[in-house]
Amino acid sequence: MPTAGAQGMTKRRMEAFSDGVIAVIITILVLELKVPHGESVEALAPVLPVFLCYVLSFIYVGIYWNNHHHMLHAMRRVTGPVLWANLHLLFWLSLVPFTTAWMGENHFAAAPSALYGAVLLLAAIAYWILQQLIIASEGPDSLLGKAIGRRDWKGKLSPVLYAIAIPLAFWSPLLAQSIYVLVALTWLVPDRRIEKAVETGNA
Amino acid sequence: MPTAGAQGMTKRRMEAFSDGVIAVIITILVLELKVPHGESVEALAPVLPVFLCYVLSFIYVGIYWNNHHHMLHAMRRVTGPVLWANLHLLFWLSLVPFTTAWMGENHFAAAPSALYGAVLLLAAIAYWILQQLIIASEGPDSLLGKAIGRRDWKGKLSPVLYAIAIPLAFWSPLLAQSIYVLVALTWLVPDRRIEKAVETGNA
Amino acid sequence: MPTAGAQGMTKRRMEAFSDGVIAVIITILVLELKVPHGESVEALAPVLPVFLCYVLSFIYVGIYWNNHHHMLHAMRRVTGPVLWANLHLLFWLSLVPFTTAWMGENHFAAAPSALYGAVLLLAAIAYWILQQLIIASEGPDSLLGKAIGRRDWKGKLSPVLYAIAIPLAFWSPLLAQSIYVLVALTWLVPDRRIEKAVETGNA
Amino acid sequence: MPTAGAQGMTKRRMEAFSDGVIAVIITILVLELKVPHGESVEALAPVLPVFLCYVLSFIYVGIYWNNHHHMLHAMRRVTGPVLWANLHLLFWLSLVPFTTAWMGENHFAAAPSALYGAVLLLAAIAYWILQQLIIASEGPDSLLGKAIGRRDWKGKLSPVLYAIAIPLAFWSPLLAQSIYVLVALTWLVPDRRIEKAVETGNA
């Protein structure tokens, strides 16, 4: 079917572009690790908080790439709104290097910790919008619609937790950061639902 | 047909290279958001104008990727001039991070606002040249030729508006910026013409 | 077989993402070569040690890309753990520009030379984990399992040599660096085992 | 034939990696255009020489991408030495942003102009090595062997001209730069030989 080929090409380029942007984001993160001026082991000390933030953000961007990869894998059709919802997600992800550096350089202060969560919240919302648009385009009875539809507890819980963490950061930054780490851990478990549906459903 | 395969490969690599360059441009944009020195919410204030410019430029680069994607989708043949016209377009797009930073850091002053428009104008002209070369190579009766040929009002209006905004920036930068925002909004609507032609025409 | 197509797509995107990240890492390395302030040939002198580090790191990242490329070429199935082990490898590789710059700017001092080795060691371990997970998923009788299984002396020797070089760096940085150069040289010889197995085995 | 598939995949990944690296190089070039501090048109004056160097280097990297693209298009087999010769070429190209910035920031002084040419010379030699290895692997009677073999005057003349320009830069930088511009112009004409051979020969 010719249309399938055309859609395949469109999907391939949307994947390639997303891969490119996410690959650059994940690598640009490390540019915020400024080379220390001294040559002793102690000179590394001020880099440590930035490094810890780097690890967390690397994991977050990795989670997004992983989930994005699985979701697009199950997608059949690319529409105009899907392309823009995808760019919208990439926009918020592209701000992660900025919030990571601000939080790291200020030793996990209140405002930077809140902003870090705000960008995570906005990225989560953007991901949710993208997911809804894809489900709407594929239909609720589609492979993806069924896989996601039942219980998307992680996708629903994460934004709630970020929304709690943001005001909390002004009271206890450490508590907010603990929430960010916790949410990352729940996502590190791969999304078996889609994976399974794709494997059994078809390809 | 063997030639089709060869052209397919050439087109794929031209797409991949363009995707790579545009993905790096859109992500490098964010490097201009310098991490503020303070740790308070107020420390973010000087970043705000740069951020607003970042949003506008992200949308513009996104629009170019989107339109580029649709135009190449409908393209059948890659010629030498098309490859160079594509590099020419990427050249002007690659200057967007520079003009974005200059405009943002100078709080939308006159000269930076004019230069921002000048690069947009040159990118629009480069896109138009690329489009004409593709139509010339595909033929006016081709899928793309028919889709574009009828009424390309957005493609013709945008450079005119940029050309008006550039001198206007020296009189009222705000007016020039309003024009840039307005043009972006008209382009955010996806190019139904090509999309429809591809869907109905063939693939 | 539909699953083969699905797996092929997943593998393609994992390759594309890895290529993107490694391409950005290898190019970001050069950003650490700060442009000298003077315009004389002598002004280049302080850049020289950074340049030498750059050459070594470029070769190391090139070796990883080459081996990664060969290993994934022989891989048939992509699993969740493999995706994460791959991201884990990319994480350590992404730190190479940082350790390269620190070692180069401090003229090969003790601590930077040790850290350079530590990141190489962690990348080597990450590569080994990825390899083991792929073999576990493909089966010991698979193409890759057989090719690697017999004698992986380079993969086993390299981390041992890095582990020796790290403490050694505090005694004689030059000795540690010589080990890094030596290990790179052993890897520059392409991995004939996999290459041969793929060529004869099948494709 | 299974081997063809395997080689196709290897070639695709080599192309994708090269595209990624060249896309990052061409975009990183623009990072050397430092945002001017003033907001007047005059503030752009010191950026102008860097901008001119940027244009020249963008064209050079574009030429390399274009020729690389055509050469790999005609290539059938990927060997280990070819992969490393390709990385060797990418290494010298990755230094172009550095030499561009040094030449631009010192207003085309002698030593920077000579170094700019030296990197161009080394990249040209690396390209020639890659070409010879591909011809050796494909055979002199292959599509590529025949296309290149006859008269590769541009490939032979360019390194000679760079080699003349390098010492000349210390006597008259302007003369050296004129040679760089001249060589770029000869290459802007697309390589009809390979293009034609591919089109008529096969695909």
Quickly state the pLDDT bin for D88 (edges 50, 70, 90). Answer: very high
**What pLDDT shows up at residue D1?**
29
**What pLDDT shows up at residue B93?**
95
List Cβ neighbours of C40 (8 Å cut-off, separation of 6 or more).
Answer: D111
Of residues C20, C35, C195, nearest to D98 (C-beta): C35
User: What stretches of chain D adopt beta strand conformation (E)?
Assistant: none
D60 to chain B nearest CA, in Å?
11
Rounded average pLDDT over C138-164: 76
Q: How many cross-chain Cβ pairs, B to C, lie less than 8 Å apart? A: 3
Q: Which residues of B touch C13 (CB under 8 A)?
A: none
Tokens 């290539």 locate to: D75
Q: Round to whole Å and give the CA distance between D130 and D83.
A: 9
pTM value is: 0.87
Say what percent of chain A tops pLDDT 90: 37
**What pLDDT shows up at residue D189?**
67
D159 to chain C nearest CA, in Å?
22
Phi, psi of A146 (to 5 degrees): -65, -45
Of residues D94, D102, D115, nearest to C30 (C-beta): D94
Q: Average pLDDT, whole number, for chain B?
A: 83
**What pLDDT shows up at residue B5?**
44
Q: Round to whole Å and give the CA distance between C129 and C121.
A: 12
A154 to chain B nearest CA, in Å?
28
Quickly state the pLDDT bin for C4 (edges 50, 70, 90). Answer: very low
Tokens 């034939």 locate to: D1
A159 to chain B nearest CA, in Å?
22
In angstroms and rounded to an integer, the radius of gyration of the C-alpha atoms of chain C is 19
**What pLDDT shows up at residue A2?**
34
Q: Round to whole Å and give the CA distance between A162 and A168.
A: 10
User: Are residues A83 and B73, on separate chains, in Cβ contact within 8 Å?
Assistant: no
Q: Round to whole Å and give the CA distance between B35 and B55.
A: 17
Name, of B142-146, C178-182, D11-15, D153-157, the range with top average pLDDT: C178-182
**What pLDDT shows up at residue A147?**
67
More confident residue, D64 or D197: D64
Q: Average pLDDT, whole number, for chain D?
A: 83
Could you count the other beta carbons within 10 Å of the beta carbon of residue D159? Answer: 18
User: Are residues A13 and B19, on separate chains, in Cβ contact within 8 Å?
Assistant: yes
Q: Which residues of C touch B20 (CB under 8 A)?
A: 20, 23
List Cβ neighbours of B65 (8 Å cut-off, separation of 6 or more).
Answer: A17, A87, B19, B22, B26
Residue of A nearest to C31 (CA): A31
- Top residue of B13, B24, B27 to mutate, by most chain C CBs within 10 Å, is B24
**What pLDDT shows up at residue C200?**
56
Of residues B6, B94, B106, nearest to D27 (C-beta): B94
Q: Round to whole Å and give the CA distance between C146 and C165.
A: 31
Say yes or no: D97 contacts chain C, CB-CB below 8 A. yes
* Lowest mean pLDDT, pick from C26-30, D1-5, D116-120: D1-5
* pLDDT tens by residue, D27-39: 888 888 888 888 8
Rounded average pLDDT over D120-144: 86
Residue of D nearest to C51 (CA): D95
**What pLDDT shows up at residue C44?**
87
Say yes or no: B33 contacts chain A, CB-CB below 8 A. yes
pLDDT higher than 50, residue B25: yes
**What pLDDT shows up at residue A88?**
94
Say yes or no: C32 contacts chain A, CB-CB below 8 A. yes
D3: closest CA among C24, C196, C178, C145?
C196
- Which chains are within 8 Å of B by 3+ CB pairs? A, C, D
**What pLDDT shows up at residue C66?**
87
D28: closest CA among D3, D61, D68, D2?
D61
More confident residue, C33 or D198: C33
Quickly state the pLDDT bin for D136 (edges 50, 70, 90). Answer: confident
List Cβ neighbours of C5 (8 Å cut-off, separation of 6 or more).
Answer: A203
Say yes or no: A184 contacts chain C, CB-CB below 8 A. no
Q: Round to whole Å and give the CA distance between A72 and A135.
A: 11
pLDDT higher than 70, residue B201: no
* pLDDT tens by residue, B41-97: 888 888 888 899 999 999 999 999 988 888 887 787 788 888 899 999 999 999 999
Tokens 């004869």 locate to: C200
Quickly state the pLDDT bin for B138 (edges 50, 70, 90). Answer: confident
C32 to chain A nearest CA, in Å?
9
Cα–Cα distances (Å) from A83 to A13, A33, A78, B29, B62, in that order, read 10, 32, 7, 20, 10
Say yes or no: C29 contacts chain D, CB-CB below 8 A. yes
Q: What is the DSSP string of B18-39?
A: HHHHHHHHHHHGGGGSPPPSS-
Q: Which residues of C touch D25 (CB under 8 A)?
A: 27
- Top residue of C12, C15, C24 to mutate, by most chain B CBs within 10 Å, is C24
User: Are residues A27 and C13, on separate chains, in Cβ contact within 8 Å?
Assistant: no
What is the ipTM for the molecules in this complex? Answer: 0.84
Say yes or no: A7 contacts chain C, CB-CB below 8 A. no
Rounded average pLDDT over D9-17: 82
Query: What b/e sequence results for A165-201 when a residue is b if at least 16 CB atoms lie within 10 Å of its CB, and e otherwise?
Result: bbebbeeebeebbebbeebbeebeebbebbbebbeeb
Mean pLDDT, consecutive 10-residue stretches, chain A (203 aa), reads 49 87 90 84 86 92 89 81 92 94 85 93 94 84 67 80 92 91 82 57 43
Q: Round to whole Å and give the CA distance between C120 and C187.
A: 13
Helix (H/G/I), strand (E/B), else coil: A46? coil
Quickly state the pLDDT bin for B2 (edges 50, 70, 90). Answer: very low
List Cβ neighbours of A26 (8 Å cut-off, separation of 6 or more).
Answer: A58, A61, A62, A65, C21, C90, C94
Say yes or no: B33 contacts chain D, CB-CB below 8 A. no
**What pLDDT shows up at residue B8?**
58
